Amino acid sequence: MKKHLLIGLTILIGTNLAALGGVVYNQMSDATAQLTLTERELSLPYNSGAQKENSGISLSINWRTPTGENETYYPYNSRDVKLTIAELLALGFAQTDIKDNYWVESRELYWAFEFDGALHKAEIIKAEDKYQAAIATYEEQPNDTSSRKKNEYSESLEREKTNNSRLFFIEASADYESLADKFSGQKNILIVKGLAKPYYNNDKTYSLMLKHLSVSNIMVPLEYSDALSHLKRVDRRDITPPRYAVDISWGSRLEPWITNINKTEE
């Protein structure tokens, strides 16, 4: 019994030391990216505001895919990125994987994101266009349906300006260097790891299904937890300005850590 307990403790200590070593290594070299994200991109947990003092707080990273270039504004996040079969093969998927939607395993790829840049500006323009079209329809045909649509798209526009995440997926790659070279010098670009798998659609087109980030949550260090400890998670129906801003660095393992938190609410 004592022997088994000793083995268990040895494994546990070894695992913790390995994890700690990974954290230290991640933060040793120069940061690969540094961004100041807000509540728009970093959500509180559902039980926020009810945690005990000194309990850990984890922020989940909110990211989006942009509306298609020739498509009308769509505020709901799609995780389906249309690609060609050649592009999927270049990501490392085998020919046999691409039409096997259910059994193929997800692969860890490098994902590039743009923060608060041209993609977000384009979303605001698309949301504005959709709202203006709804106004025109209401003025031509005033009824309950057109009135509801006008109000709905007005809220969508305001939400896009105030609430929605400004962190947009750009593309995926099988290697880090190609993305780092492509976006070199752009301070609002973030490259991290995420899991994805190919998907074959019924209309004979191909997609990359973006599953989730390899690190999708960020633990808040205790020295910064007071800034968030009494805040409750905002209801998704509310339109409210972000209440906090978080300085984040990503290290050599492309994993994030928090360097500062400031409240932004009045």
Per residue in 144-198, pLDDT tens? 999 999 999 999 999 999 999 999 999 999 999 999 999 999 999 999 999 999 9
Q: Residue ranges of the domains in the chain?
A: 29-263
- The dihedral through the CA atoms of 201, 176, 219, 234 has a sign that is negative
Cα 11–chain centre separation: 33
The per-residue pLDDT for range 71-113, each reduced to its tens digit, is: 889 877 789 999 999 999 999 998 877 776 667 889 999 999 9
Given a contact cutoff of 8 angstroms between Cβ atoms, the answer to whether 158 and 239 are in contact is yes
| Dihedrals phi, psi of 217, to nearest 5 degrees | -130, 150
Per-residue confidence band for 52, with pLDDT thresholds at 50, 70 and 90: low
Examine the pLDDT at 47 and tell me if it is beyond 90.
no
Whether residue 12 has pLDDT greater than 90: no
Q: How does DSSP classify residue 221?
A: P
Asked whether residue 11 carries a pLDDT value surpassing 50, the answer given is no
